[in-house]
Structure formats: structure tokens, C-alpha cells
Structure 1
Amino acid sequence: MDRILVTGASGFVAKHVIGELLRAGYGVRGTVRGQGKVPGVWAAVAALAPGFEGQLELVEADLLDDRGWAEAMDGISAVMHVAATIVAVEPKDPDLVVRPAVDGTERVLRFARAAGIERVVMTSSIATVGYGLGHERGVRRYSETDFTNLEGMRRSWAYCIGKTRAERAAWDFAKANGMALTTIHPGAILGPATDPETSISLGLVTGLLDGSTPAMARIGFAISDVRDVAAMHVAALRTPESAGQRYLCTGPYMTFGQVADVLRAAYPDHAVTTKVVPDWIIRIISMLGGPTRQIINDVGNEKHFDGSKGEALLGRPYRSNREAILSAAESGIRFGLVKPKAK
């Protein structure tokens, strides 16, 4: 049995990746930073791959520390580098996000190479594809051939910087060391959660559903169902021709308002957000260093991402945006992440 290492095993995407691997017959070793997140991983396995618990092993390893990585790589056939640091508010110190992304990726690849591992599938993002390329107004379509230009961005964004620099470093390392690398690029990741430890993206849905997000920016995003993202990681692993390739895992573009409309139709008794923030207010808040720094680069334009290449790798159509949104909402309600509905 091939054993696959999955980094950041307690993450939303990683839990689904582990489930996909176990159901496909692989053994899995997952890394966690500490024991606090371990129960959530086992809960995910019980939900996603019941009966396969014996094929999962969890070990401790930190992206910013060499300790544990040599042992984690021992006996491993391939690595799925999924771990990432994601924050809801732009940090004052970008290195809180950038260092784990860049140094962590370099550390994982370095220890993989030392262990003789040649195959790596890495979770990247549309953040490494559609930014800093001179698109400030109107509609533009992006594909895997586009690569974010950090020097061209209107405002810095730690997550985008970290992901872009990490992917660049990964491709440089792979080329220099003969490593077979594939990168997967999701957008806003929605879909069902297996436990209350979900993701920043699910907060987009739960915040609209219970009105705790008081107003919506006039922007949109490509939506990715976490089940499609996980399945694409395994499809890449099982497809030798995917080595050296980037794959967008992205559904159609939707605005915050359209997401709210889907939720309002499905949950008419909930206080779904209705107010919209004008663009000029978003820009002012951004200049003052507020939380809108994470979305300012999307104000005034539409970024559409062509996920057809990824869909071909997956071998089936993506789940619909509506299914991704409503399954995220159902998870939020089930795990108590949504305030009680309006009376």
C-alpha cells in the first residue's frame, strides 16, 4: 500500500483530502502542529471514510521547525502539501502568514527530496493566478498560464504574497531537483464541514446567513466545493501526466449578493444580509489599514477563472455553486456556527 503524507491534516481541505485518499485505498500519514486539533481529524475520518481509520497515522511537525519532518517522510511514496496559514483579518506583520507559506513549503520539499520522494501535489490558490496583472476595471478571464505579479498589485495582501512566493519557490525547487510537482488552485472553498473547525471561507456563508456580516462588498469570487478540491488532489496523484502542471479548481464567478440570494431563497426565516457597502467606503477603509485590505484588489473588477482544465483532470463536472453554498450553510447550522434564525 502506498503511503501518502498530507501536511496540515487538521485543515478544512486536508481533512477531505485524507478522506479521498483513504477511500481510494492509500495509507495516509498526516502532520499536525499539536495534539489540540487531533480529535477533529479523527472526526473527519469517521465521517468521510468510516472503517478506514486504521490506515491513518498522525504525527507532529511544524512548518517553521525542522523537527519531525525527517520522520514524517520515512516510508512515504508522495506528498500532498496542503498546510497553510489563513487569517480573517490582514495582519500587521505579513510574515505571520508569509513565513509559514514560503519557509514551510521549502522545508517540506527539502525533506521530501532527502527522503527520495519525487512526487508532490501542492495546494495553491487563485491568489497566485489573477493579481497584479493590470486588471483594475471590467471583466477578465484567467487560466493556468497566468501568474500573479506581486509588484503590480494595488495593495499588498499577505495571503497572496505568501502563496505566490511559495508556489514560485516550489516550481524552482522541483525544476532544480527533478521533482514531479502539480499545483491545485481553488477559489473560495465552500462545501460541507465535518466538524466545527472549518475555514475562513465558510464564514462567508455563515456571516451572510445570520446577518453577522452587516453589509456586503460589491465584489465576487470563483467558488470551489471542498469535495472537488480534494478529489482533484487525488486525481493529480493518480495521473502521471499532471506532473509539471497547474490546475484551476474553480466554478463560476458569483457576487456576494448572488450568494445571499441563494441563502435567502433556501432559508427565508433567517436574517440574511441585505446591505451593500459602496466601493468608495471600501477604498477608504483599506487605505486606513482596515480588514478590507484582503479584498481591495477585487473592487471594481470581475475575475473569472477558467476551470475547464481542472474539470478534465477530475473527469466529471464540478459540483454547482448552489450545492457548495447550501452544504456550507447546512454545516454551519449543524455545528452551531450560525446564530438562531430570526423570530
Structure 2
Amino acid sequence: MPTVLITGLNGFVAVHTALKFLSNGWSVRGTVRSQAKADKVKQLPSLLPYIQQGKVEVVIVADLVEGDFSQALDGVDAVAHVASPINLADGTWADYRDPAVKGTVRLLEQAAKVPSVKAVAQMSSWAAAADISVPFTEQIGKVYTENDWFPLTDEDAEKLVDNHDGVTQALWYCTSKKLAELAAHETRKRTGAAYSVGSVLAPMIFGPALHYGPKATGEELNKADASTSWLYQSVAGGRDGTLPPSSFPSWTSVESVAEALYKIIEKRSNERYLIYEGPFDYQQFANIARKLYPELDKAGVIPLGNPEDCPSEKGTYTLDTTKAERELGIKFDHTKEEMIKQVVDQIVALGAASA
């Protein structure tokens, strides 16, 4: 039975990725940054059956930038590098760059010393390809491919002035994801590593929050990672709740992302792949939720917003997924309705919303 190391196993994408590998006969070893996070992972209903069968192991690596991954890497066949701390609220350029870039380099340098590691899949972002400095309303008809790269450099990012309006933070994030991708390939070549390195470039990722246990509250979901919290606010934030801004109106299913990470490792690919279901905005999500769950709408659970104002329907850029479809065999057939139903059903099951 092959083993994959998944970094940040307590995260949204990581849990779905673990389940993808487990369902295909792999065992999983995951890293987390504290004992508390390890204890949380071991109680997740989605992973618990596999943990009880001895197919999931959790290892603590406290620091992504300076940590020792030797125990975590020992004997594994592949690495899915999913962990990358992000904070769009404050910080400095180094706070964005170092976990993404130095964390990637440290992990891959140590992996190069482990002969059993044959493949690495890196969780990058569409932000490493798209130019978010141009408003999406001015990019109607633009088609991004894997040949595109976010234009800013390390030097450009260093010169940015933080006006605490979220703009600089977004530019820092995009630059950090681009540099992390480049650093992964540079590290592989410099170390002469035997493993392959492929990357997943995903836009906003949505789906059930399987990284939360059965006692998760609405307050917890509302303050979770961006994918989980913004989706929660859109479908269960209260009738008068404020919908998140649809500044980046492209989405994909977390299931497509997990499949891409798995296939990159399975095929030992050295390529980058755009993963994309289509355009979206949070008003659409609220509209869909009200249609699917009239009882929750009547109870005032689902935001009203402005039902007639769906920004993405006015046009925006698209991402070309031809390469992922051809080389990884992924079918991008997940719908917003399917995803919203999965998410709201989970929220209701948790007791975080009710009619």
C-alpha cells in the first residue's frame, strides 16, 4: 500500500485530498502544526474509519518554514503539499512570501533526500496565473491558460505600500503563490531530486467543510478559512446578512482539486494545471440556496442581498481547462446547485442552521 504525505491535514482541501487517496488504496500521513490540531483531525468523522484501520497517521511539524519534515517524509511514496498559511487582513510581504516560498523549498529539499518519494503535487492557485490587478469587469473575454503568470516579481511586491484596504495583501498573495511554484521546480533541479513536481492552479474552491467535526457551530464556520466562511455567509448568514464581495468570480469544486492532486501524483506529472468549473458570484449562491431550501428562506436563514444583481453574469475572464481534461482526465461537471446542496445539507446536519 503506497503512502502519501499531505501537509496541513487539518485544512479544507487537505481532508478532501486525503479521502481521494484513501479511496484509491493509499494510506495517508498528514502534518499539522500542533497537538491540538492533531487531536482535531483524529476526531473528524470523515477520516475516523480510516484512522481506526491504521490508514491515517498524523505528525506534528510546528513550523512550515523552519520545521523538520524527516519523520513525516520517512518511507512515503509521494507528497501533496497543500499547507500554506494565509492572512489577507494584515502582515508584511515577508509574512506572505516566507511560508509559501521558504516552506516549499524546505519541504522539497528534505524530500530530495528520501529515495522513496517519486512524485510531488503542489497546491498553487489561479492567482499565480491571472492578473487580479485588472478588475474582472475589464477582462471580459480573456482566457487564461497555464502559460500565463501573475506579472509581479519579488522586487515589485517588496515595494508595495500596505494601505490596509486588502489590495496590497491580495497582490502579495498572488506573488507568493507564483514564487512558490517557481521555487518548487528550481529546488527539484538544484537538488537533482528523482521526484516529479506538478501543480494545481485553482480559483475559489467550494464544497463541504469536512475539516470540521460534528459539533461545529455557525460562529466557527463564519470565522473559518475563506472558502468555508464566505460560502457560509452566502447561504446561512441571515436574511439581512452582507454577502462577501465577488472580486474573484471563478470557482471550482474541492472534489476537482482533490482529484487533480491525486492524478498529478499518479501520473508523475511535472506540469501545472488550471482547475475551473465556471464563473460565480455570492449573490448567485444565495439565490440558489433560497430556491433549493424555501423553508430556510422563510425562516430568515439565507441572505437576500440584491437577487437581481449577479456581477458574474455581466461577463468576466475564463480559465482554459483543456490541459487538465486531456492529461488528467478530469471532467469539470460539478454544478453550483450540486455544491450548494452538499454544503447546506452539511450545515443543517451540524445544527449550524435550521428552519
TM-score, length basis structure 1: 0.81
- Residue 26 in 1 paired to residue 26 in 2? yes
Segment of structure 1 superposing worse, 9-18 or 169-178: 169-178
**Distance across 1 between alignment mates of 2:256 and 2:286:** 22
Structure 1 segment 33-72 matched on structure 2, within 5 A = 33-44=33-44, 46-47=45-46, 50-51=49-50, 53-72=53-72
| Number of equivalent positions | 315
State which of 156, 164, 169 in structure 1 corresponds to 2:178. Answer: 164
* Larger strand percent: 1
Q: How far has the Cα of 1:248 moved from its partner?
A: 1.4
Segment of structure 1 superposing worse, 156-165 or 182-191: 156-165
CA contact (8 A) 2:42 2:48 kept: no
CA contact (8 A) 1:206 1:337 kept: no
Q: Which residue of 1 aligns with 2:10?
A: 10
CA contact (8 A) 1:202 1:328 kept: no
State which of 242, 249, 273 in structure 2 corresponds to 1:214. Answer: 242
C-alpha spacing 1:309/1:209, structure 2 compared with 1 (3 Å): same
**Distance across 2 between alignment mates of 1:246 and 1:163:** 13
- One-letter code aligned to 1:227: E
- Residue 265 in 1 paired to residue 279 in 2? no
Q: How far has the Cα of 1:302 moved from its partner?
A: 2.2
- Residue 229 in 1 paired to residue 257 in 2? yes
Q: Which residue of 1 aligns with 2:274?
A: 248
**Distance across 1 between alignment mates of 2:266 and 2:291:** 39
Q: How far has the Cα of 1:211 moved from its partner?
A: 3.4
Runs of 4+ with >6 A deviation: none
CA contact (8 A) 2:204 2:248 kept: no
Structure 1 segment 107-186 matched on structure 2, within 5 A = 107-116=106-115, 117-131=117-131, 137-139=138-140, 140-150=142-152, 155-156=167-168, 157=170, 158-176=172-190, 177-178=192-193, 179-186=195-202
Q: How far has the Cα of 1:219 moved from its partner?
A: 4.1
C-alpha spacing 1:315/1:303, structure 2 compared with 1 (3 Å): closer
Gaps of 5+ in 2: 161-166, 307-311
- One-letter code aligned to 1:217: P
Gaps of 5+ in 1: 277-297
Q: Please give the per-residue CA displacement for 1:223-251, whole angstroms capped at 9, x wherever unaligned.
A: 221122112211221113xx221111210
Q: Which residue of 1 aligns with 2:163?
A: none
Q: Which residue of 2 aligns with 1:193?
A: 209
CA contact (8 A) 1:209 1:329 kept: yes
**Distance across 2 between alignment mates of 1:314 and 1:91:** 39
**Distance across 2 between alignment mates of 1:255 and 1:335:** 25
C-alpha spacing 1:199/1:327, structure 2 compared with 1 (3 Å): farther
